[in-house]
């Protein structure tokens, strides 16, 4: 992105404040363009009126990310990779978190193939208010037989998740493309030996393609430039991923060089990068647990610097869970704390006699408290107070959690302490004990100071609930 101020984007807008974009003013819409929550296509006058055509073209150029954004797959499960503007997330944020594809081969027994693909497609891990998923399937042609590869592709395509076709044989890739037309798979890969045939396939079927040159950045840049000049827009780079020793250090350094050059304006190499942690299984490690461990370590390294998409093998929980957690953490926007909606939640099946508690709407705090309550069978009402996504201790110190804020949260939730429960009592977090007096005045309720740690709530409830009258 060549601009970072709403005022700069505003200059290219109609400035009529028509509201068709859903915002009250063009300046508000300009702010959405800068933080990528809005698109120029949302502005009807800019799109429809010919007099704005040049401004639209220039604005799109200025707003385009430094790293090309590439889409793989179709439908709801389609994934976007690349699209970053910075080298370090604290300067803005990273967009489009690392996408993780898990491999199958065209030599697998059909039942085993189908089972593994379903496991990939159905993987789901709840984490801080959202579900973490795996992104797709990489189909590797081990047989080098177009017919076998096409059969495997058909089976995978039935599940409807994004695919990577892996072969250096153009005939094999073509068979896969014919078997899954309109699925928009990523082709892996074009190299110095097959670039012409693979490039023709990418153009003919209009699909994204990986260009590969192991540990040779000059050749990689040449391939990418050649494909771009041929009209292929959706390109992914594979500089090689060596799993061990000096080679791994060189791979890591190559990733850094490519991303730095792209962010600094070298458009000929400003594309998403592919990492291949599954090569850990080819490093001569005989123990599957050790191979999984090393694959996970590689995935962590290249999630941080700067793998946009990767192919993995191990589906063991001790491998996949750290991998998806790492990607989720690195690609969480540091400008916006992860928060839940500020409202009254039911934990279990509360009644009018059940306790009422509150905490902040910082997602990690809320889900920790909610988990400690629900896992111990405590039916209750839990109010999430809007503290701009800040935890209890920090929000009390910073003034985001006050008695007035708590009262406002109760009012907005529509929960009446005198009508909806029989005890008119609220349990406050132990870290917010200093608010007890103010809360009693504001809420006209009995305030119990809870434990400092929500993990101690079961013991606290045994001693203090129901409240003494």
Other C-beta atoms within 10 Å of 244: how many? 14
pLDDT for 127 equals 87
Taking alpha carbons only, the member of 341, 378, 344 closest to residue 455 is: 378
Q: Which residues of the chain have pLDDT under 50?
A: none
Query: Which residue is associated with the tokens 């309550």?
Result: 373
Q: Give the residue ranges of the annotated binding site for 5-methoxybenzimidazolylcob(I)amide.
A: 359, 365, 389-392, 454
pLDDT for 52 equals 92
Omega of the bond leading into 114 within 30 degrees of 0 (cis): no
Residues 298-317 pLDDT 10s: 999 999 999 999 999 999 99
| Angle at which helices 363-374 and 457-464 cross, to 10° | 60
Taking alpha carbons only, the member of 199, 104, 208, 198 closest to residue 156 is: 104
pLDDT for 1 equals 80
Contact indicator for 386, 342 with CB cutoff of 8 Å: yes
In the chain, how long is the greatest CA-to-CA distance?
84
Other C-beta atoms within 10 Å of 88: how many? 8
Walk me through the domains of the chain, giving residue ranges and CATH numbers.
Answer: 6-63 (1.10.15.40), 67-331 (3.20.20.20), 344-464 (3.40.50.11600)
Q: Beta strands 356-360 and 309-312: pairing type?
A: unpaired
228 vs 221: CA distance, rounded Å: 10
What secondary structure letter does DSSP report for 429?
P
Contact indicator for 61, 67 with CB cutoff of 8 Å: no
437 vs 433: CA distance, rounded Å: 9
- Collapsing DSSP states into helix, strand and coil, what is residue 126? strand
Taking alpha carbons only, the member of 173, 166, 211, 190 closest to residue 312 is: 166
Residue 354 CA, chain-centre distance (Å), reads 37
293 vs 151: CA distance, rounded Å: 32
Contact indicator for 390, 400 with CB cutoff of 8 Å: yes
Which residue blocks in 99-145 are alpha helix, DSSP H?
A: 110-122
- Collapsing DSSP states into helix, strand and coil, what is residue 104? strand
Taking alpha carbons only, the member of 364, 367, 326, 390 closest to residue 94 is: 326
41 vs 23: CA distance, rounded Å: 14
Other C-beta atoms within 10 Å of 179: how many? 20
Q: Give the residue ranges of the annotated binding site.
A: 18, 21, 26, 43, 359, 365, 389-392, 454
What secondary structure letter does DSSP report for 433?
G
383 vs 443: CA distance, rounded Å: 14
Q: Six-digit token pair at 465?
A: 């609930």
Rg (CA), the chain: 27
Query: Which residue is associated with the tokens 């502005």?
Result: 43
Q: Six-digit token pair at 214?
A: 């192991």
Query: Which residue is associated with the tokens 């999630």?
Result: 303
Beta strand residue intervals within 195-276, DSSP E: 209-212, 235-238, 274-275
350 vs 110: CA distance, rounded Å: 49
pLDDT for 469 equals 66
String of DSSP letters for 327-355? HHHHTS-TTS--B--SSEEEESS--TTS-
Q: Give the residue ranges of the annotated binding site for [4Fe-4S] cluster.
A: 18, 21, 26, 43
Beta strand residue intervals within 279-400, DSSP E: 309-312, 344-347, 356-360, 380-385
Residues 107-126 pLDDT 10s: 999 999 999 999 999 999 98
- Collapsing DSSP states into helix, strand and coil, what is residue 128? coil
pLDDT for 36 equals 87
448 vs 432: CA distance, rounded Å: 11
Omega of the bond leading into 466 within 30 degrees of 0 (cis): yes
Q: Beta strands 163-166 and 186-190: pairing type?
A: parallel
pTM score of the predicted model: 0.87
277 vs 388: CA distance, rounded Å: 38
């Amino acid at each position: 992105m060549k601009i970072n101020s709403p005022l700069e984007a505003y200059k290219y807008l109609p400035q009529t404040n028509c509201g068709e974009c859903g915002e009250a003013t063009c300046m508000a819409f300009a702010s959405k363009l800068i933080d990528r929550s809005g698109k120029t296509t949302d502005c009807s006058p800019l799109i429809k009126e010919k007099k704005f055509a040049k401004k639209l073209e220039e604005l799109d150029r200025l707003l385009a990310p430094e790293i090309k954004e590439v889409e793989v797959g179709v439908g709801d499960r389609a994934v976007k990779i690349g699209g970053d503007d910075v080298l370090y997330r604290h300067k803005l944020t990273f967009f489009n978190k690392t996408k993780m594809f898990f491999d199958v081969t065209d030599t697998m027994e059909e039942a085993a193939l189908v089972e593994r693909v379903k496991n990939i497609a159905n993987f789901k891990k709840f984490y801080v208010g959202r579900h973490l998923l795996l992104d797709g399937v990489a189909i590797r042609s081990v047989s080098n037989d177009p017919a076998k590869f096409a059969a495997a592709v058909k089976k995978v395509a039935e599940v409807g998740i994004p695919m990577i076709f892996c072969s250096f044989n153009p005939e094999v890739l073509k068979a896969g493309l014919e078997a899954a037309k309109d699925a928009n798979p990523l082709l892996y890969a074009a190299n110095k030996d097959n670039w012409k045939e693979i490039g023709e396939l990418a153009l003919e079927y209009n699909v994204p393609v990986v260009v590969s040159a192991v540990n040779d950045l000059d050749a990689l840049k040449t391939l990418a430039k050649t494909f771009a000049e041929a009209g292929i827009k959706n390109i992914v780079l594979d500089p090689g991923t060596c799993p061990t020793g000096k080679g791994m250090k060189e791979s890591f350094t190559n990733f850094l060089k490519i991303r730095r050059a792209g962010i600094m304006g070298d458009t000929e190499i400003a594309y998403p990068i592919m990492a291949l942690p599954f090569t850990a299984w080819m490093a001569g490690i005989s123990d599957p647990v050790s191979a999984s461990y090393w694959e996970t370590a590689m995935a962590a390294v290249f999630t941080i610097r700067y793998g946009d998409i990767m192919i993995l093998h191990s589906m063991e929980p001790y491998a996949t869970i750290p991998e998806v957690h790492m990607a989720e953490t690195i690609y969480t926007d540091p400008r916006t704390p992860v928060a839940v909606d500020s409202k009254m939640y039911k934990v279990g099946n509360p009644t009018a006699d059940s306790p009422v508690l509150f905490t902040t709407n910082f997602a990690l705090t809320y889900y920790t408290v909610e988990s400690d309550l629900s896992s111990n069978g405590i039916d209750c009402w839990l109010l999430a107070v809007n503290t701009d996504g800040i935890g209890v201790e920090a929000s009390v110190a910073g003034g985001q959690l006050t008695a007035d804020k708590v009262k406002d949260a109760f009012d907005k939730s529509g929960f009446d302490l005198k009508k909806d429960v029989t005890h008119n009592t609220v349990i406050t977090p132990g870290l917010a004990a200093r608010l007890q007096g103010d809360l009693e005045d504001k809420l006209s309720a009995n305030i119990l100071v809870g434990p400092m740690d929500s993990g101690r709530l079961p013991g606290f409830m045994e001693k203090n609930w129901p409240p003494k009258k």
